[in-house]
Amino acid sequence: MFGRRKKNDSAQDGGAAEQVVDATGADERDEAEGQDGAAAPRRMNLPPAPRPDGPWDAAEVLGDPADGRVDLGGILVPGVEGMELRVEVAGDAIVAATVVLGDSAVQLQAFAAPKKEGIWGEVRDEIATGITQQGGIIDEAEGPLGWELRAQVPVPLPDGQTGAQLVRFVGVDGPRWFLRGVISGQGAVRPESAGVLEQIFRDTVVVRGDGPMAPRDPIVLKLPNDAQMVPDGVQTTEEQEGSRFGGGMGQLERGPEITEVR
């Protein structure tokens, strides 16, 4: 199933908690790092780490990288039985895809990156700063996909109160690209249950292209040629019963969607 929602609607669900990412607080972090940087391990501007289990660059895949995957242009997403696939737009561009599987989801978004430097360490710090400034809680841990952030993100509830959305931010640096995943739902509440979503992340193929791109520019996606869309705002029965992305902490609303049944 394909769905489409606008960027400014996505903060209502766990798939778009990355909206809190910004560069605010960079000066404070630089000052702190200057005070005790001698004792701290180097985290920034490291070369991309090996990726023996993926995610993959298109040039690394033997045969047709689109085989068994949904072709979204900039990324090729592996197909899994029972999954739904939604895309997210910023302006007129599609910039992210979210795989929904049962009561969990992973949002995938690819960015351009420097040729010889990874950006995940820097991005993690920016995400953590943004969330804590909003009153959220961050825990940095080493998980199955490497270093990740496990976050409690403040979100508004339908009754006007503020709840907490549990999400996991994962990321991998590749050759001239960076792939970020945001895991929500039970895959964030119980990370041990997120094995299939983590495998989807590993099996994703990034098609950056050879053209010049500034670091951090999103790699633009496209809809598959056979996508069948229905009007914005149409809801499935499951959506009318409430969001599955609340992680057990209240019924959180989703943004308007355009949906395709595969």
| pLDDT score of 228 | 56
Residues 79-100: pLDDT tens digits?
999 999 998 888 888 889 999 9
Give pLDDT, residue 76: 96
**Residues 206 and 55: beta-carbon distance below 8 Å:** yes
Say if pTM beats, i.e. exceeds, 0.75: no
Lowest mean pLDDT among 3-7, 70-74, 144-148: 3-7
Question: What b/e sequence results for 223-234 when a residue is b if at least 16 CB atoms lie within 10 Å of its CB, and e otherwise?
Answer: beeebeeeeeee
Burial (Cβ within 10 Å: 0-12, 13-18, ≥19) of residue 246: buried
Q: Which H or E run contains 211? A: none
Name the token pair of 86: 């939604």
Task: Work out the percent of the chain whose per-residue pLDDT is above 90.
Answer: 55
Q: What is the mean pLDDT of the chain?
A: 76
Of 7, 10, 20, the closest CA to residue 153 belongs to 20
Residue 14 pLDDT class (50, 70, 90 cuts) = very low
Question: Above 60 in pLDDT, residue 166?
Answer: yes
Residues 224-251: tens digit of each pLDDT: 876 655 434 433 333 333 322 222 222 2
pLDDT-derived band of residue 45, with 50, 70 and 90 as boundaries? Answer: low
Looking at residue 88, its pLDDT comes to 87
**Contact residues for 98 (Cβ-Cβ < 8 A; gap 6+):** 3, 15, 85, 86, 87, 88, 105, 106, 107, 108
Query: What tokens does 98 get?
Result: 């979210």
Task: Check residue 115 and give its pLDDT.
Answer: 86
For residues 246 and 19, give the distance between their C-alpha atoms in angstroms, rounded to a whole number.
17
Specify the length of the chain in residues: 262
In this prediction, residues 106-121 reach a mean pLDDT of 93
| pLDDT at 180 exceeding the cut of 90 | yes
Q: Give pLDDT, residue 39.
A: 45
CA dihedral 162, 168, 172, 178 (to 10 degrees): -20
pLDDT for 165 beyond 80: yes
Q: Give mean pLDDT, residues 122-138.
A: 95
Identify the pLDDT of residue 48: 75
- Structure confidence at residue 223 (pLDDT): 87
